Amino acid sequence: MTSEARPEKRSAGGCLLRLAVVVVVLAAMGATAAMLLRGPLRADPDVNPALDPVRRTVLKLYLSEHAEELAGPAGSGAAPVIFAITPGEGAAAVAENLRAAGLLNNPELFLNYLTYYGLDGGLVAGEYQLNPQATIPELAEALGSGRAQTLELRFLAGWRSEEMANYLAVVAPAQIDAADFREVVSSRRGLSGSYSFLASLPEGASLEGYLFPDAYTVAPDTTAVALVDSMLARFDATVTPAMRQAYGTLGLSLRDAVVLASIIEKEAVLDEEKPLMAAVFLNRLAAGMPLQADPTVQYALGYQAATGSWWKAPLTVEDLAVASPYNTYLAAGLPPGPISNPGLASLAAVANPAAVDYLFFVVDCAATTPGAHVFSVTYDEHLANVARCR
């Protein structure tokens, strides 16, 4: 008969001895870390305050162990590199692109450095000329400070000016302040360019509709005023004299054309349908019919806090009765101003509407192409098209 093994009895003194050893080891590690941190790492006050203590300690030790690597060139290139960060690109993608460009041999170390100092969400979109001998701290500083040669901004067609300002607030490019942008758009103060089309704007009208949506490459010192000047200049160059003459032939002023194009921009999904929509709205205006365009009601309703959107969808019967000069279900003719900033396809569609007699359109739920509409001449045809989607 064998006897069972018994657990070893541990004394209180033994436990205290082991605890003391752990404390000494941790103290030694901390001292080593502190010594190494005097090298390429920053002072502790710059550490990401959002890190929990455990994560902070782990990253601090990790970076300390790589102190020598942090102090040397991050990559293996030999010549300066033009490097671009696109708007919305995350830190991991940037690290991989740096590696592919020969500027970074250890993406993991770069990402941990960014995380430790809270820089992973602060890389600034733009185009940079980077030194191939730059260290990881130098790369992080350059890409996080926005010291780019140029910055690229992309404004989408159909955005209203508030959406453009929100985009600028998120991207925070160059010296462009979102609040300054809103103020310039609203007041038109400080503009350096001379634009003849602004002379016909009603008193107190904003620049809504004339902020041409496109990609803009700007310098790091660009201000909100300079950006708005560029957008107006782009509009002036894009809307050609031939287009303006075509507007006049249709009995439209330039502002009328921009207003109509801004509605088409929000109604249409497919560029090829825009001339058809232009024809529908022009036919309705000629017949004295209300435009009955949902986007004008959405514009009147404004920002929807519940959904974080400027364009409420779907609209209710109550929404269609909102009292506003922009509500084209109730107000005759064109609304008093543009409801968005239209792109070239919409502006061109107004200059060259389709030669059709259509008065109605509705989303074609039977179409194989998403966003397609079905057009009709009579109200009965329109009701039949609506019924197909119910």
Q: What is the pLDDT of residue 34?
A: 37
What is the DSSP-derived secondary structure letter of residue 222? -
Q: Are strands 126-130 and 373-376 parallel, antiparallel or unpaired?
A: unpaired
- List the structure tokens of 205: 């009208």
105 phi, psi to nearest 5 deg: -95, -25
In sequence order, the 6+-apart residues with CB closer than 8 A to the CB of 216 are 152, 153, 154, 155, 227, 230, 231, 234
Q: What is the pLDDT of residue 366?
A: 85
What is the DSSP-derived secondary structure letter of residue 51? S
What is the DSSP-derived secondary structure letter of residue 71? H
Q: What's the alpha-carbon Rg for the chain, to the nearest Å?
A: 30
CB 200 within 8 A of CB 253: yes
- Strand, coil or helix: what is 85? strand
Cα–Cα distance measured from residue 302 to residue 318, given in angstroms and rounded to the nearest whole number: 15
> Which helix (H) or strand (E) segment is 61 a member of?
helix 53-65
Average pLDDT for consecutive 10-residue bins of the chain (390 residues)?
41 41 39 38 64 90 91 88 88 95 95 91 84 90 75 93 95 90 95 87 95 92 95 97 98 98 97 98 98 98 95 96 97 97 98 98 91 96 90
Q: What is the DSSP string of 26-49?
A: HHHHHHHHHHHHTSSS--GGGS-T
Strand partners, 84: 127
Cα–Cα distance measured from residue 352 to residue 249, given in angstroms and rounded to the nearest whole number: 11
If one counts every other C-beta atom within 10 angstroms of the C-beta of residue 24, the result is 10
Whether the ω angle into residue 7 lies within 30 degrees of 0, i.e. cis, is no
Look at the block and give the residue holding tokens 């070239």.
Answer: 344
Q: Are strands 215-218 and 151-154 parallel, antiparallel or unpaired?
A: antiparallel
Q: Is the dihedral angle over the CA atoms 170, 174, 178, 181 positive or is it negative?
A: negative
Cα–Cα distance measured from residue 386 to residue 149, given in angstroms and rounded to the nearest whole number: 53
Q: What is the pTM of this model?
A: 0.68
C-alpha dihedral (260, 266, 272, 274), degrees to nearest 10 = -20
> Which helix (H) or strand (E) segment is 24 a member of?
helix 12-37
Q: What is the pLDDT of residue 13?
A: 43
CB 157 within 8 A of CB 261: no
List the end-to-end C-alpha distance of the chain, in Å, as a whole number.
85
Domains of the chain as residue ranges with CATH: 36-149 (3.30.1490.480), 152-238 (no CATH), 241-358 (no CATH)
- List the structure tokens of 264: 């088409």
